[in-house]
Chains A and B, each alone.
Chain A
Amino acid sequence: MKAAVGAASLIPRNALVWIILSQFALLLPHLGRLPVWVVLVYLSTAVWRLLAYQGRVSFPGRWARVGLIGAGFAAIFLSYGNLLGLEPTVALLLTAFALKLLELVKRKDAYVLIFLGYFICVTAFLFTQDILLVLYSLFTLLLVTTALVALHRPGEHRFRVDTLRLPALMLAQAFPLMLVLFFLFPRIGPLWTVPVKSHAARTGVSDFMKPGDISSLSQSDEVAFRAEFEGDIPPRSELYWRGLVFSVLDDGAWRSLRYHELPGAEMRQQATEPAGPELSYSVLMMPTQQNWLYSLRYARARQSGVIPTPDFRLFSPVEIEDQLRYRVSSWPQTPLETELSDWRRSTELVLPATGNPRSRELAAELHAASTSDAAFVDAVLAHFNRENFVYTLQPPLLSGPDPMDQFLFQSRRGFCEHYAYAFTLMMRAAGVPARVVAGYQGGEINPVNGTVIVHQFDAHAWSEVWLEGQGWVRVDPTGAVSPDRIELGLEQALAGEGSFLANSPLSPLRYRSVNWVNMLRLRYDALTYRWQSWVVGFNSEEQYSLLQDLFGSVRAQTFVIIVLASGALVLVPVAWLLLGRHRRRPLDPAQQLYLAFCARLVRRGLARERGEGPRAFCQRVAHADPALGRWARDFTEGFEQLAYTGSAAGGSARQQQLRNLRQQLQRMPGTS
């Protein structure tokens, strides 16, 4: 289909270059997620298109294009294993975007490509909404808009950088409107959704723990959540962020109780009176695709939509697909569940019928030697401390029916989940109610804005033991083995081993010891925190509360008025500027007075013609109405003096003349 194309419908070379540039810019944020061949497709289509522009090669024919599209589908299927899901579809879109370049003959095609470019710009936000990406997207937006502008400038045969000027101005003008729309435009939920997240990995602690789970999580330097305390930040050894409680040991793995396993009487949290000082804080959580929230112990949410569970955790009835901010109060010294129900006691004591016989034996031995349950706990911790246990990220693989026997008596190398598992097992074996708690421990305090940053590598597991009179007491067996983990964090605890973030050599967290890198990282994190709380987290509730703060109670009616008024607030000055450019300057006072004079005469039925000069009009007036003639003549003379003789150019004399003229205007004779 190589029909002759009119010159007007051809794409200027300048526009072509900008289109190709913006294509590469749009590809860049996706690079990490795409197979390498997509980049090759981009390069080859760009080269092909440029050669075709020079006339050295021809555009692909219809069957070649069909073949290329088929090949693209096949390659994506081979790379991702399917064609559905977020990443394959975005890859498909990007590949099609590159191939469309080979169809770019007429302006119409270029429009399609450019508008597709705007859409692709948005797809990057499906993966992350980082502030850097937003800034970068502003840049790609500028490039795509520049391509659009260049397309409208025919006959530019050379690449011109100054094409950027107009689109930059246009985007700058659009910026205030963007802010208005961002803050005020109603955030309507989607009418339909595609399950885009189904392929996104669930991150963070899972509701299922077997040895090795948390140590693999510790390889990640992603942020799990950030917490901002209203008062002082407690010492990091007190920062046990509870997320999950594992009460069931099943098949060598710990899991939490399912809701349906709870008897009716146990479905509600036991009434608990807070004791001791209160900690108030808010948590900004990254999406986990899970339901549980993290909090310090004895937590009460200070907002709706967060449910307390019987094991004293916080729970969100909807999966956390977007980042979530919630406000919590905690009373760490509150005794939890001092009265233990029979069901709860028996549940927290259940062990599999068989397995780990030596561990059970050891537990029985130590329990027999102890005077109380509390002393027994101390004895077990002392055992861990004494018997040369090693805290490591690289424990040997435990297998077989008795993994804890293997751990306690042979390898003696383990990560927190090993110690929590073994400790809880021994407690239960000796008849002390105990359970594993999973969550995060510690966190990094950002001195820039005073938030606590909790990373995935802060994931931790510990135990809770029920002691008569004290309720559930936290016991962290890891602390007995490696006090550094609790006091200083994972990095210090593993300092000798060198395994901290061993798989991510580029993570800035690895270079914390370099001062300026660390400061830069913390500053950026503070910025991200603000960004996440105020921009990304600005949902319809935040919007509603903002409007309420500003305007009091907000009804639908006022809301519409606010949206329209603020839109007008932005657009009216723009319109005024645009129209003002063609608007005439205001009349000088003398001419204004003359127009007032004419207006008075109109009421007497004497209208001045458009092109009629003051003298001619005055004569006509005198002729038509001699009673007015004298007055009109005097006024016209005064006006001529002011407007045309230039005799009173100076300030005060002119002011005097103007006053006289104004008085003269008032002396108009009445109707006879």
Chain B
Amino acid sequence: MEIQGAIDGAVAEVGTVLLGKEAQVRLALCCLLSRGHLLIEDLPGMGKTTLSHALAEVLGLSYKRVQFTSDLLPADILGVSVFDRNEASFSFHPGPIFTQVLLADEINRTTPRTQSALLEAMAEGQVTIEGETRPLPEPFFVIATQNPIHQSGTYPLPESQLDRFLMRLQLGYPDPQAERQMFLSKHSGQFSTAPLRRCVTPEQLSEFRAAVVQVHVTDTLLDYLQRLVAFTRQSREFAVGLSPRGALALLDCARTWAFMDGRGHVVPEDLQAVLAAVAGHRLIPSGDYAGDGQALVDLLQRSVDVIGR
């Protein structure tokens, strides 16, 4: 199918700048194609910015980047009205948020106030500045990166705001082979000099959305999804189970994943493929469980049988 070919092409294209991370790239694409915002969490220098920039390029979307610092103010993102002496009126200078893909770099280094301004825009798809509501471009994706929260000088995002991100990805260190290839590559670290090929057109993007909702989901699969969700709500390892929004996100992403795989129906493996990225940041271990969210996802996947009622 044409669209699947385009997606495979996009994954391959991103793979030329971010080596050996095909799975994460697919997940990131899946997130964006599901119309969700993406949170990439990892140590500095792992390729977070590279990934987000490459994604914007292959999707052919306008792209802006804001480096979040502790003194960044909401107006710095949203824009300001400035008095124009010639026109004798205020004119609005839009901020960097008026773009299709916004890379919010190191979002947890800025204050909760600025974080909130961004997260509100993510949820609403519009911003309200000085009493005037302005729509954001369509589509609008936020790719936020954050350092692991135990680093100094960070304001961790609260759970309620983490929930606004459809997926959270962790890139991890590249495997030695890929790293070696990166060393040899003359392009390493210099993506800006060679722009990536645009693989997906805006038309294809909207076609894609229409096709994804056609992906078939059977009762058997929904049973599995509900067992997964019920497990997070009932087991004592979980302080907080998956919300209905979380469950819906899981299903959405599984549909996209199935479609990206060229299928018209969802299989349990689709759910499992997106489970860690979608559920990992939404699950909170209870006090007597030693593991983190990722360990919880593993536990969840191991504990709930695919077959059953």
Contacts and interface: CB of A to CB of B under 8 A. Distances in A.
B269 interface: yes
A591 B307 contact: yes
Nearest to B218: A646
A613 B267 contact: yes
Contacts of A613: 267-269, 272, 306
Contacts of A132: none
Given A584-B308, A586-B309, A587-B308, A611 B220 contact: no
Looking at A590, A595, A611, the one whose CB has the most chain B CB atoms below 10 A away is A611
Nearest to A594: B307
Nearest to B304: A611
Contacts of A586: 309
Contact of A644 (B218, B301, B303, B305): B218
Contacts, number: 67
Contacts of B309: 584-587, 591
A644 B267 CA distance: 6
B276 to A, nearest CB: 12
Given A584-B308, A611-B301, A645 B220 contact: no
B236 interface: no
A614 B218 CA distance: 15
A342 interface: no
A611 B302 contact: yes
Looking at A588, A594, A643, the one whose CB has the most chain B CB atoms below 10 A away is A643
Contacts of B220: 588, 590-591, 643-644
Given A644-B220, A645-B218, A611 B303 contact: yes
B280 to A, nearest CB: 16
A614 B301 CA distance: 14
A611 B305 contact: yes
B23 to A, nearest CB: 15
B79 interface: no
A100 B267 CA distance: 68
A68 to B, nearest CB: 53
Nearest to A585: B309
A616 B275 CA distance: 15
Contacts of A588: 220
Contacts of B217: 646
A612 interface: yes
A266 interface: no
- Contact residues on A (Cβ < 8 Å of other chain), bracket: 20 to 34
- Contact residues on B (Cβ < 8 Å of other chain), bracket: 20 to 34
A640 interface: yes
A582 to B, nearest CB: 12
A584 B303 CA distance: 17
B264 A645 contact: yes
A586 B216 CA distance: 23
Nearest to A598: B307
A609 B221 contact: no
A667 interface: no
A584 B267 CA distance: 22
A613 B307 CA distance: 8
Interface in A600-633: 609-616
A615 B303 CA distance: 18
Given A584-B308, A590-B220, A646 B303 contact: no
A614 B268 contact: yes
Interface string B65-96: 00000000000000000000000000000000
Contact of B306 (A587, A614, A647): A614
A584 B272 CA distance: 23
A544 to B, nearest CB: 50
Given A613-B272, A616-B269, A643 B218 contact: yes
B265 interface: yes
Given A585-B309, A590-B220, A646 B304 contact: no
Looking at A591, A644, A646, the one whose CB has the most chain B CB atoms below 10 A away is A644
A615 B269 contact: yes
Nearest to A583: B309
Interface in A353-387: none
B308 A609 contact: no
B122 interface: no
B17 interface: no
A335 B286 CA distance: 98
Interface string B241-267: 000000000000000000000001111
B304 A610 contact: yes
A648 to B, nearest CB: 11
Nearest to B300: A611
Nearest to A586: B309
Nearest to A643: B220
Nearest to A641: B265
A434 to B, nearest CB: 91
Interface in A54-72: none
Contacts of B264: 645
Nearest to B268: A613
A616 B264 CA distance: 19
Contacts of B307: 587, 591, 594-595, 598
A649 to B, nearest CB: 9
B301 to A, nearest CB: 4
Contacts of A585: 309
Nearest to B269: A613
A614 B269 CA distance: 8
A610 B268 contact: no
A295 B294 CA distance: 92
Contacts of A645: 216, 218, 264-265
Looking at A588, A595, A613, the one whose CB has the most chain B CB atoms below 10 A away is A613
Contacts of B300: 611
Contacts of B216: 644-647
Contacts of A584: 308-309
A609 B265 contact: no
Nearest to A591: B307
A609 B302 contact: yes
Contacts of B221: 643-644
Interface in A644-672: 644-647
Nearest to B299: A611
A591 B221 CA distance: 11
Contacts of B302: 609-611
A590 B306 CA distance: 13
B308 A591 contact: yes
A647 B220 CA distance: 13
A115 to B, nearest CB: 37
B306 A611 contact: yes
A630 to B, nearest CB: 20
A616 B307 CA distance: 13
A73 to B, nearest CB: 58
Interface of A: 584-588, 590-591, 594-595, 598, 609-616, 640, 643-647
Which 4 interchain pairs have the tightest Cβ spacing? A613-B268, A645-B265, A613-B269, A643-B220
16 contacts: A588-B220, A590-B220, A591-B309, A594-B307, A611-B300, A611-B302, A611-B306, A613-B268, A615-B267, A640-B267, A643-B218, A644-B221, A644-B266, A646-B216, A646-B218, A647-B216
Interface of B: 216-218, 220-221, 264-269, 272, 300-309
